[in-house]
């Protein structure tokens, strides 16, 4: 496992770059997931506009007025952070990031280079001010401009990211009430950064995007179809981050020998110990595995601040989900031009996503809950709801087709 890029470069290339400890592999893959989903969404919105499914809108804007002091202050603040904090982190990385503990804790400390912060604020603020002055007119005028749907991709991605993070954190706290109590009674940086539930992010992020689309003339059904393939691929990319970092998204213990039909596959695809996992799991866990210290006799390197593995090995469920997400994405992407009825693609996404997550929960570590006399995890319950939502949506969209078929 590679909790951050420092250990990845150290292990693969022998390079010692302490500043890379700031870049968590999971966070990097989540960022990449958003970039990929955004690019696919932009491509789909362009295609749908070309096909006449969605159209551009016109809006009035004032030209030559300038952004104003708020924009200058925002740029100055960015320059201050870069000069005061980022420069300090990069320069002192060799000594700051020794031992355990999250490197991100230094981001929120009071340490830094104040003079460089002031200099950075002055430079960035002045540059933004000069740019603003160059764009100003003696008499600002109002113009009507055309806004294409794909030009809103950046805003849609930002709205999805904010809603996704808040939703993922909220649903995680609902699933683990003891963490919710600690989150509010004893808030900490680690408590804020750790613990996210992907379904919560999808639900709240999706609602935020739907609200944004409604405000800006993007019909929900077409926007949903445009986002569906990218959402599935982004999910798979995020699971790569879970697998590489060992963030706890793994399965139940799997001490069973690898079956003959999987003789071609590496052992870790069947059962994996997640050495040097980012959580540094140590000691027995209720799920049935134990975190142990890596020793010199073990086949893995010992990463400072981590250095534990799981015994027995567990199902690498994040890897399985990556494979299934890629397969579902390939299917949805291949069908996006063939299914002409709006909403069909998104309905299929909901059903396939729900089926995938419900199945993986059978071998995944998660806290069970009782619901209407049944014991299941929060993710299983949400997966069922999502699948049924997709099924109902598909039936409603194609009700005329079903009636015609039944009439025959």
Tell me the domain boundaries of the chain: 5-56+148-251+316-407, 63-145, 252-314
C-alpha to C-alpha distance for 338 and 344, rounded to whole angstroms: 10
Contact criterion met (CB below 8 Å) for 276 and 303: yes
Q: Which of helix, strand or coil describes residue 294?
A: coil
pLDDT in tens, the chain (408 residues): 898 898 999 999 998 888 888 888 988 998 999 999 999 999 999 999 999 999 998 888 888 887 888 999 999 999 999 999 989 888 887 777 665 556 666 777 788 999 999 999 999 999 999 998 988 888 888 888 888 999 999 999 999 989 888 888 887 777 777 777 776 776 655 566 666 777 778 888 889 999 999 898 899 999 999 999 999 999 999 999 999 999 888 999 999 999 999 999 999 999 999 999 988 899 999 889 999 999 999 999 999 888 999 999 999 999 999 999 999 999 999 999 999 899 999 999 999 999 999 999 999 987 776 767 777 787 888 899 999 999 999 998 887 666 666 555
C-alpha to C-alpha distance for 186 and 102, rounded to whole angstroms: 18
Contact criterion met (CB below 8 Å) for 179 and 172: yes
The model's pTM: 0.85
Q: How many CB atoms lie within 10 A of CB 123?
A: 15
C-alpha to C-alpha distance for 133 and 340, rounded to whole angstroms: 49
Contact residues for 401 (Cβ-Cβ < 8 A; gap 6+): none
Contact criterion met (CB below 8 Å) for 360 and 400: no
Q: Which of helix, strand or coil describes residue 211?
A: helix
């Amino acid at each position: 496992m590679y909790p951050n890029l420092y250990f990845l470069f150290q292990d693969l290339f022998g390079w010692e770059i302490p500043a890379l400890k700031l870049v968590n592999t999971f966070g990097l893959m989540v960022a990449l997931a958003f970039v990929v989903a955004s690019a696919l969404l932009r491509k789909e919105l362009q295609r749908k506009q070309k096909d006449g499914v969605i159209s551009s809108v016109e809006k009035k804007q004032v030209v030559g007025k300038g952004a104003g002091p708020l924009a200058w202050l925002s740029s100055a603040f960015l320059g201050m952070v870069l000069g005061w904090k980022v420069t300090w982190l990069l320069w002192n990385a060799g000594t700051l990031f020794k031992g355990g503990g999250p490197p991100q804790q230094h981001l929120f400390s009071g340490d830094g280079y104040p003079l460089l912060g002031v200099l950075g604020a002055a430079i960035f603020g002045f540059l933004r001010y000069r740019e603003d002055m160059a764009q100003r007119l003696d008499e600002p005028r109002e113009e009507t401009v055309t806004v294409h749907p794909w030009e809103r991709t950046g805003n849609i991605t930002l709205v999805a990211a904010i809603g996704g993070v808040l939703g993922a954190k909220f649903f995680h706290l609902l699933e683990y009430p003891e963490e919710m109590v600690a989150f509010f009674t004893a808030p900490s940086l680690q408590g804020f950064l750790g613990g996210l539930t992907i379904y919560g992010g999808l639900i709240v992020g999706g609602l935020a995007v739907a609200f944004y689309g409604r405000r800006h003339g993007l019909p929900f059904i077409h926007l949903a179809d445009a986002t569906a393939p990218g959402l599935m691929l982004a999910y798979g990319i995020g699971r790569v981050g879970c697998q590489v970092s060992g963030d706890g998204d793994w399965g139940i213990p799997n001490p069973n020998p690898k079956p003959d039909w999987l003789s071609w596959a590496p052992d870790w695809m069947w059962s994996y110990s997640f050495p040097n996992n980012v959580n540094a799991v140590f000691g027995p866990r209720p799920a049935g595995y134990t975190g142990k210290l890596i020793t010199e006799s073990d086949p893995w390197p010992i990463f400072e601040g981590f250095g534990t593995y799981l015994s027995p090995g567990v199902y690498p469920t994040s890897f399985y989900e990556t494979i299934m997400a890629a397969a579902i994405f390939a299917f949805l992407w291949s069908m996006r031009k063939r299914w002409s009825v709006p909403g069909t693609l998104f309905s299929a996404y909901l059903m396939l996503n729900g089926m995938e997550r419900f199945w993986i929960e059978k071998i995944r570590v998660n806290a069970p809950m009782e619901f209407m006399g049944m014991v299941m995890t929060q993710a299983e319950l949400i997966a069922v709801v999502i699948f049924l939502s997709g099924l109902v949506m598909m039936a409603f969209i194609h009700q005329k087709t079903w009636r015609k078929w039944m009439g025959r």
